[in-house]
Amino acid sequence: MQTSYYPTPIMISANGHYPPRSPPPNGLLRRLTHTPRSSVERHSQIAASAEDNALAEASKHTDLWFSDGSIILRAEDTLFRVHKSQLARHSAFFRDLFSLPQPSAESADSTTASSSPTVVVNNNPALQIDTTNEVEGCSVLRLHDTSEDVENLLTALYDGPNFGKNDPTDFRMVSGILRLATKYLVDSLRTKALVHLSKAWPTSLKGWDAREDLTRADEMQSGPGMSNIYPSPADVIILAREVNAPSLLPSAFYDLSRYHYTQLFEQDDESGPSIAQLPLSNADLQRLALGKEASQHAITTLIRSMGSHSHPLLLGHHAHSHRSCRRDFSELVALATQHYLFDRERGCTDPLYVAEELGQPLYDFGQASSVDDARFGESRRSVEVSECEACARALAIWTTRERERMWKMIPLWFRLDV
């Protein structure tokens, strides 16, 4: 039997109670007319009557209602008639649930409210199948999930997952599928959802660079800083915590750390709610603050390292001191210091971006670029800053190594156990 991905037992309802048992048939009510009843029994019958009325008000899903279905799932006010075999085939939770004996309508009628039969899976409180209020001959299983999430899960089970481009709309669908796939132990669908999300929240530097290339391409059309092709990294952190997916955390925390504090904690009508209004735990807020500090220190250290004239990877290839190359590196360090540390221009909170930019010389091996260089904001390296071919190669190799080192340090920056 498979176990849940949750570190703690799943509570099926907000108050931890099972759905109330339906009242007995009218004949039994007449027989009990003169029999004293406890307050628990009276309360159970009143609650069950309310449940009956709510069931009558629920509507059938237009697509996920199969005439030959063998079980009806109810989520909020939507009914889904599906097949037990399909659920059991993909979900270990439903396979165990349906394999256990269920009470018949007659036996359920004769059971008191205090001893209403329940189903327990993996020692956790489980759902109760209502066999006394059938709809079109099918028992009803009440799910304490949103109808949208249940619809997306069932659609993926029947038709296969149809993931999009990892944009906010796609994330809303995929996150719902991932939550329920984790909750109901649909392992194959959980794996596919995590693989899809990892394209936007990767575990490798190569994957991160591919992600950033898409962002920059989108910014060329929408404008600098206006790209909205990915969801909020705070939402990704919340989801990763909820479904126990730590592989998503490093890139999500790093992306979130690139926001300025005013963007994180102050309300902005255009960018949506601030992070202060999102249910991040105090521990994750602390990780964010510590990680931002560490990333800022990484930028300072990177620029200071470039200014070291004795750095073996930058100028060590010269047999003797090369005055022009030293001058070029000094001027490059001055420009980077002014742009990223003093002016706080774009990229000042993104050490991976800074290292990438510093590793791209304005003149590739003495040949001027045919396109105006837009790095360092409105400024650019002067004509004199034209490293020799050996220095350009050394700089590119050094910054590549520094970026790899930084990427490996991200989990440590944010105190993540991955």
> Residue 314 pLDDT more than 60?
no
Q: Across-strand partners of 138? A: 135
Instruction: Give the pLDDT confidence score for residue 322 in this predicted structure.
Output: 62
| pLDDT higher at 27 or 409 | 409
Mean pLDDT across 31-35: 37
CA angle 101, 137, 156 (to 5 degrees): 80
CA distance 274 to 269: 9
**What is the token pair recorded at 174?**
């995929």
Report in angstroms the alpha-carbon separations of 131 from 48, 98, 149, 282.
13, 13, 24, 44
Task: State yes or no: pLDDT of 70 exceeds 60.
Answer: yes
Higher pLDDT, 169 or 42: 169
For 232-278, what is each residue's pLDDT tens digit? Answer: 999 999 999 999 999 999 999 999 999 888 888 876 656 556 776 77
Question: Given this model, what pLDDT does residue 36 score?
Answer: 43
- The model's confidence at residue 151, banded by pLDDT at 50, 70 and 90, is very high
Q: How far is CA 244 from the centre of its chain?
A: 10
Question: Which two structure tokens, joined as six digits, stand for 336?
Answer: 């980077």
Task: List pLDDT tens digits, range 343-379.
Answer: 666 668 889 988 888 887 643 323 334 444 444 444 4
User: pLDDT tens digits for 372-416?
Assistant: 444 444 444 443 444 477 777 778 888 899 999 999 999 999 999
* C-alpha dihedral sign at 171, 174, 177, 182: negative
Query: Which residue did the predictor score with more confidence, 50 or 103?
Result: 103
Q: How is 62-111 classified by DSSP, letter by letter?
A: EEEE-TT-SEEEEETTEEEEE-HHHHHHH-HHHHHHHHS----HHHHHTS
Task: Kindly tell me the burial class for residue 368, based on how many C-beta atoms sit within 10 Å of its own C-beta (0-12, 13-18, 19 or more).
Answer: exposed
CA separation for the pair 148, 130 (Å, rounded): 22
Residue range 122-132: average pLDDT?
Answer: 58
CA dist., res. 137 & res. 134, Å (int): 5
Query: pTM, whole model, 2 decimals?
Result: 0.75
SS3 of 294-328: the string is HHHHHHHHHHHHHCCCCCCCCCCCCCCCCHHHHHH
The full DSSP string for 323-343 is HHHHHHHHHHHHHHIIIIIIS
At 178, the amino acid letter reads: L
For β-strands 78-82 and 59-65, DSSP reports them as parallel
